[in-house]
Structures are given as structure tokens and as C-alpha cells.
Amino acid sequence: MHLLLDVSIRPDGSALPGFGTIQDLVNAASAFALLGCLAAAILGGVIWAFGATSSNVAAASKGQKTVVASGLGAAVVGAAAILVNFFYHMGQGLH
């Protein structure tokens, strides 16, 4: 006789001791990540301006790439929870 067991998961943070502390640590990590993105955007802007004013195409290009990468990094930090929840709910819809 072949028996199939159905399993399910229901994430519940309240069932986990210290969940609030872990949530606070994740929030702090995202704040540090955003500060890092801000610092990278400022530094990239300075490099871009220096490269543009000194006719240094390589430096200007590096500065542009740094500014764009910092913007994308900030977008990922901001969208991380949305993306995780989207894929979790998409997975819940699979049968």
C-alpha cells in the first residue's frame, strides 16, 4: 500500500523565539545597505564629475557605472521584501 502524505507550510514569526530581534537586524542591515548605496552614488558622482572635467573618459565611465549600480542596489534593497513575498505567493499557487 502506497501512502502519500500532504505537507504544508505556514510561516508564522510569532512561533519563533527572537523573531522580532531577527526582524530588527534585517531592518538594520537594509538601512546600512541603503547608506552604502548612498555613499557609492556620491562617490560615483564625484568620480564622474572629475573625469568629465579633466577629459578622463575612463574615470567618467567608471563614475557613471558606479552611480547606476548604486541606484540598482537601492532598488533591490527596496524591492527585496516585495520580491520574496511575490515568489512565495506564486509558489503557494502551484498545485
pLDDT in tens, 45-73: 999 999 999 999 999 999 999 999 999 99
CA distances from 85 to 53, 80, 94 (A): 45, 9, 15
Helices (H) and strands (E) in the chain, counts: 2, 0
Q: Is the pLDDT of residue 40 over 80?
A: yes
Model-level pTM?
0.80
